[in-house]
Amino acid sequence: MTAPSAELAKGDPLRGIALKVASVCCFVVMATMLKATHTVPSGQMVFFRSFFAMLPVLAFLAWKGNLGLAFHTSRPLGHILRGLIGVSAMSLGFFALTRLPLPETTAIGYAAPLIIVILSAVLLHERVHVFRWTTVLVGLAGVLVILWPRLTVFSGEGIGNAEAVGALASFAGAIFSAFAMLQVRTLVQTERTEAIVTYFFISASVISLFTIPFGWVWPTPEQAALLVGAGFFGGIGQLLLTSCYRYADMSVIAPFEYVSLLLTLVIGYIIFADVPTIAMIIGALIIVASGIAVILRERYLGLDRSKSREANTP
């Protein structure tokens, strides 16, 4: 779970893609299991997802002989902040799962990378060119296409209905996810991947316990099995996701994240009888198209920079 080297990153792209798709499948299974628990509060979902995800990760690190690296840190407060933001993102996302169809929450979650571009420009003062701003605005327009039918402000229902609240929670979760990714970007400057992953699961498990007074429930045996299974699949998905970048460049692997939309469409229809709306499909396609455009643009610029360096090498 260490950072990939340049040599490994170009070694076996098909293997990297396969690992990425496998990780996506694990995360979709995790979300499906959590949604199937029905009455379990989102804070309780966060605990099970974090605590039981930690077990396969620590077992893998022990098997690799890297368990000691998982607990070495010089920035404990940074990990706690990452945990607070991550728990907020997961809680909102899991709450949305209980209110919206599975594909819809997945599609809205794709807004997180777009929001990162905005936060990077505003908070980190990174230079963002016109092309990226355009794709971000187009992608956010796709999010609005999905959200608008749920936010029935011009009908007699108002925005207090369950689906409208779920849609807002899903988008808020995407915003918190973007902040969490920015925090990870600061942590990776001094912290190893093993420590970032381990301390996130530890901090999220502890922080989520503070939601007990807000109404945890005693799960049925079926719910308990689903919650524990969701945690394990989340941990395995994390391991696969970390491993995939060892074998291929991020720009090659990243587009396969959108496989999750196809999977959730099928699973949502078969298991939960969720029929996607036209607005959801159109909005999702807009978001996916804008995301892939950014990925391809970054890949092109990366190749162009590489050629320039080679041309200037004596």
The answer to whether the beta carbons of residues 234 and 48 sit under 8 Å apart is no
Distance CA 221, CA 177 (A): 31
Residue 190 scores a pLDDT above 70? yes
Q: What is the pLDDT at residue 11?
A: 62
The answer to whether the beta carbons of residues 128 and 117 sit under 8 Å apart is yes
Q: Long-range contact list for 66-75, CB < 8 A, 24+ apart?
A: 66/1, 66/2, 66/194, 69/192, 69/194, 69/195, 70/194, 70/195, 70/197, 70/198, 71/195, 71/198, 72/192, 72/195, 73/191, 73/195, 73/199, 74/190, 74/191, 75/187, 75/190, 75/191
| Strand, helix or coil for residue 2 | coil
The answer to whether the beta carbons of residues 157 and 132 sit under 8 Å apart is no
Distance CA 10, CA 16 (A): 9
Digit-coded pLDDT (tens) for 123-176: 888 887 888 889 899 999 999 999 888 776 445 554 457 788 889 999 999 999
pTM: 0.85
Q: What is the pLDDT at residue 231?
A: 96
Q: What is the pLDDT at residue 282?
A: 94
Distance CA 76, CA 81 (A): 9
Measured CA angle at 186 (ends 110, 289), to 5 deg: 20
| Strand, helix or coil for residue 90 | helix
| Strand, helix or coil for residue 65 | coil
Question: What's the mean pLDDT in 206-213?
Answer: 94
Question: What's the mean pLDDT in 248-259?
Answer: 80
Where do the structural domains in the chain lie, given as residue ranges? 13-312
